[in-house]
Amino acid sequence: MQIPWKVDSLYQYLDMVKSGNIPDFSECCLICGAKDCATYNGCYPRSVIDPLINFFMDDFSILQYLCHQKGDNPVTHHVTFSLLPWMLIPYHRLPLLFIIFAIKIKLQNKISYIKLITELDIDFNNFYELFDSFDFINVNTLFVCKTIIAFAFNRFIESGIGNRIIDHNLYQNILNDNDNSRLLHFIDLVSNYKYEYKGQTIFGPVAFA
């Protein structure tokens, strides 16, 4: 099970791992809810590519914890949970903000995935020099990216929270627009959203989440 973990940046997460000052879940296991259950289980590596901040790491360390199944009501059959920086997506090397950036270009310009790859090739040529272009990003990856955003949008609509967190007229416009415009409005909403949390103003997708 992967838990979105709120950090300011990938670098902050890495510093936390390196320092050893990691979160402790002895008070409540995130899987079964029991006290004195979850223990640190080391880290596992994963590949991360973020062209927006010129970041590449083939062995980015992800914190993992082990549930010793002391609780009676586990939320999953898995016995481990990981703390995934909020900007990363499970099983994807490209982060959330880049996905939003890329799909917004496609929707705004009404271009094909092939044309979008060409646009990204121009904008992020340094990454295409480091990796084979197909390995860095391809049509299937971009299609999955759009599917992820569409899924999030559908969850947003189904939840009914739109009327509570955004202007009613804006919400109605989102509901009544065509599919392309709806997703664009949703991307703008997520990108510009802000939320007050413990005296701090949080912006963007992490605030929306």
Residues 125 and 157 in one domain: yes
> What confidence score (pLDDT) does residue 126 get?
60
Burial of 77 (0-12, 13-18, 19+ CB in 10 A): exposed
Q: Is residue 163 part of a domain?
A: yes
Cβ neighbors of 207 (< 8 A, separation 6 or more) are: 193, 194, 195, 197
Residues 41 and 78 in one domain: yes
pLDDT-above-90 percentage for the chain: 33
The answer to whether residue 199 scores a pLDDT higher than 70 is no
The answer to whether residue 105 scores a pLDDT higher than 70 is yes
The domain boundary, picked from 85, 108, 141, lies at 85
Q: Quick one: average pLDDT of 66-88?
A: 93
Q: Structural domain of residue 135, as residue ranges? A: 96-208
**Cα–Cα dist 44/178, whole Å:** 42
**Domain count across the chain:** 2
Q: Say which residue the tokens 């903000």 belong to.
A: 97
Confidence of residue 155 (pLDDT cuts 50, 70, 90): confident
Residues 60 and 158 in one domain: no
Q: Report the amino acid identity of residue 100.
A: I
CB distance 26 to 40 below 8 Å? no
Q: Is residue 90 part of a domain?
A: no
